Chains A and B, each alone.
Chain A
Amino acid sequence: MEQARTVVEMRNITKRFPGIVANDNANFKLSKGEIHALLGENGAGKSTLMNILFGLYQPEEGEIFVNEQQVVIDGPNKAIKLGIGMVHQHFKLVHPFTVTENIILGSEPKKWMGLAVDKKTAYETVGNLSKQYGLNVDPYAKIDEISVGMQQRVEILKTLYRGADILIFDEPTAVLTPQEISELLIIMRNLVNQGKSIILITHKLKEIMAIADMVTIIRRGKIIDSLPVSGTNPNQLAEKMVGREVSLKLNKKDAVLGEPVLEVDRLVVKGRQGLNALNETSFVLKRGEILGIAGVEGNGQSELIEALTGLRPVSGGSIKVNQVEIAGETARNISEAGISLIPEDRHKHGLVLDFPVRENMVLETYYQPQFNKNGFMDYDAIDKHAERLVKEFDVRTPTIMTEARALSGGNQQKAIIAREIDKNPDILIAAQPTRGLDVGAIEFIHKRLVEQRNSGKAVLLVSYELEEILQLSDRIVVIYEGRIVGDVKPSETNDQELGLMMTDYKQPQGGLNIEQTD
């Protein structure tokens, strides 16, 4: 292969934030037509480096070359002019707007001497663009109404609409289902074939191995290495990234199953539009078991979690915890009955970001006698409790008086997990517990979940990531349109098969036991 042209070069980039050097003399080079992965722990400085390339931040030092010309990128406008587009880690979409409105925003086609937006042309252009790249997006849909995967495609279309040749993807797969991930990888290949160059930030080593040509590793703001993917392997990458050896394989002994602790029987729950989100769903969870619930997002998982935790009314069926009916009880009573939840959206549901860590640590237990006397909070006890959890779960925070907002995503997650596990619940529901975390943090959290199960408690794991489900679960049920359509052992299946079940290609009659049809 002949030497490809360099389209982006960043030289000696340094960027400081108060109290931290986010990028420390970093060098980075992207060649035409390549997919170049950027790998690093949470907070290593990946997003910062790319935000600099996109003109959102100005570096304190360093130079940038695009197509071998030195440039100053003083704002996204400039980046767009230079043919750079970015799909952000947290999507930048205006939710009440339609897909098309989001895409044309800032460079709208106009009519009547600029007095009006030419909507017709806009919708046509977006429709055509979507077809051209095989993205299959409905130009008329509102962002609020489309799935996360679709939203991401809208982000991609936004860059393409502006004629970007260099595309930056910041953790694009963190929020996608396996199907969506493989579709995205195909799309990316497609883009490269059409002459685009791609920078891909991801924590998933498998994806890097599958699609990237080059990988650059960044640790604490410094570039550690930049090498062709063909000459490396996941273990080596993980080690370079974290700076120590990481076991990518989870060591867990066989499950020792006990009594059933959670029995869900023909549960019916209404969803947001008033339709049944759960349709006579039934399953049983036993002590000493991690039960994975696999499924494409939006098939009733959120409603199931909300029903189990008392946040959503139940229209039929029963939920028993330790043989006691809890359907219809209040969230507080259910929590007392032994269910804990690691919520999917940690900012919205898991934490009060403006509160110090210590107050977040008692969010569900503040009223109990150990933290509360005669209606007064016992802050001595709360402080002791928080100090212990922070230590035990390695939550990296300056002090327990630090606001939760100031913690990194991974540490926020650890704080929540510490709080929930420490309640010593009979049933721990973990929804997307490792979304967006780096491999080191994932390793830690997985270990804690397994420990919980080993101590005779039960874990209900809800995740859109098949790899995580396969690795952690002792048993997997597949949920599709509010029904359980499969019940398998991880050792007896693989992600392809699960993926098919999740989209109902292979639903056997009655929807049970996949092995019989095999």
Chain B
Amino acid sequence: MDVATLGNMLNTAFVFSTALILAALGGIISERSGVVNIGLEGLMIAGAFAAAVSAFHAQEAGYGAWSPWVGLLAGALFGVLFALIHAVATISFRADQVVSGIVINFIAAGSTLYLVKLLFEGSGETSLVDEVFHKVKIPILSDIPIIGEGIFNAYPTTYLALILVGVIYYGLYKTAFGLRLRSVGEHPSAADTVGIKVLRMRYTAVLLSGVLAGLGGATIAMTTTGTFSHNTISGQGFIALAAVIFGKWNPLGALGAALFFGFAQSINNVLQLFEFAANVPSEFIYMLPYVLTILVLVGAVGRSKAPGALGEPYFQGKR
């Protein structure tokens, strides 16, 4: 395998990973505050939908290259909207978090498609947006072999995702906000007794997860598909959830997990370029990313420890 191929593989890996990274970051923030977020898939759907629709209108309104940014913003906002449902249900009304997450997935899938049909005259897909993101080369850095092509010739969203990994890592581990957020997820009544507003903290976290997962969905619409339809998001939210656990609820870990997954995906494209691949049934090549993920989990990671109070609703006086 030559250097160029490796660089290209890395590049493809990043394309696949970006949305996973963003959504996984959302999952981490929410779960670090103690709220299970199995609704990532739904939040991504909401984000992709809003991005596709609003970028299309922005483009029609003449926003030009700003259109995908409008889409991104709308994706984040729509993610928040659905996250708010999750927050109200699980935090204020103490509904089971898993149930609520599944509900988010249902409602997001149903309502976005319904809206698409309303907005696009019965069509099951939004109109194609021409003004989507394009890869941006970073001068000098992009000349480094392998890594240059792999990392420094990427979509703006990829850079955004990488920056957010750093920001959230810093936020979680270096700031007072992060300390408080984590304490709320580990031991809410401990946080409560030192005057931290547990519920407000959790609301913040869940809404932030809506922003991030919404961005994740928007990324897919604004880089790969340019449209939104019933299968724009098909399982990425669950893979992101896996990345949260795989990455042990740590932003850097999730970055690694998401990249690993993206890399495994890109391997299967590269494999098809080789002669010997003709003899391997294609189904086995499609399976590869998933098999690899399990093998790595079995081999290297083992038990990962969830935040102490994950899944437990909190109310004052809870024992």
Cα–Cα, bound, A308→B192 (Å):
41
Cα–Cα, bound, A4→B180 (Å):
39
User: Which chain B residue lies CB-closest to A86?
Assistant: B193
CB-CB contacts of A251-294 with B at 8 A, as 1s and 0s? 00000000000000000000000000000000000000000000
CB-CB contacts below 8 Å: A94-127 with B = 94-97, 101-102, 104-108, 110, 114-117
Chain A residues in 8 Å Cβ range of B193: 54, 56, 76, 86, 88, 92
Chain B residues in 8 Å Cβ range of A158: 194
User: Which chain A residue lies CB-closest to B173?
Assistant: A117
Chain A interface (Cβ within 8 Å of chain B)? 51, 54, 56-57, 75-77, 80, 86, 88, 90, 92-97, 101-102, 104-108, 110, 114-117, 158, 162
Residue B279 is within 8 A (CB to CB) of chain A in the complex: no
Sorting the interface of chain B by its residue count into under 10, 10 to 19, 20 to 34 or 35 or more gives: 20 to 34
In the complex, the answer to whether B317 meets A105 with C-beta atoms within 8 Å is no
A462 shortest CB reach to chain B, Å = 27
Which of A80, A105, A107 is packed against the most chain B CB atoms within 10 Å? A105
In the complex, the answer to whether A115 meets B175 with C-beta atoms within 8 Å is yes
User: What's the dominant secondary structure at chain B's contact region?
Assistant: helix
Residue B189 is within 8 A (CB to CB) of chain A in the complex: yes
In the complex, the answer to whether B175 meets A93 with C-beta atoms within 8 Å is no
In the complex, the answer to whether B176 meets A76 with C-beta atoms within 8 Å is no
User: Which chain B residue lies CB-closest to A90?
Assistant: B319
Cα–Cα, bound, A162→B194 (Å):
9
User: What's the dominant secondary structure at chain A's contact region?
Assistant: loop
In the complex, the answer to whether A107 meets B187 with C-beta atoms within 8 Å is no
Contact A94-B195, Cβ < 8 Å, known A51-B317, A110-B176: no
CB-CB contacts of B180-212 with A at 8 A, as 1s and 0s? 101100110111111110000000000000000
A-B contact list, 29 entries, CB within 8 Å: A51-B317, A54-B193, A56-B192, A57-B317, A76-B194, A80-B194, A88-B193, A92-B187, A92-B190, A92-B193, A94-B182, A95-B186, A96-B308, A97-B179, A97-B186, A101-B179, A102-B190, A104-B179, A105-B191, A106-B180, A106-B194, A106-B196, A108-B176, A108-B179, A114-B176, A115-B175, A117-B174, A117-B176, A162-B194
User: Which chain A residue lies CB-closest to B184?
Assistant: A94
In the complex, the answer to whether A80 meets B190 with C-beta atoms within 8 Å is no
Cα–Cα, bound, A96→B187 (Å):
10
Chain B residues in 8 Å Cβ range of A51: 317
In the complex, the answer to whether A56 meets B186 with C-beta atoms within 8 Å is no
CB-CB contacts below 8 Å: B85-116 with A = none
Chain B residues in 8 Å Cβ range of A54: 193
B306 shortest CB reach to chain A, Å = 11
Residue B316 is within 8 A (CB to CB) of chain A in the complex: yes
| Contact among A86, A96, A108, A114 with B186 in the assembled complex (CB-CB below 8 Å) | A96
In the complex, the answer to whether B190 meets A116 with C-beta atoms within 8 Å is no
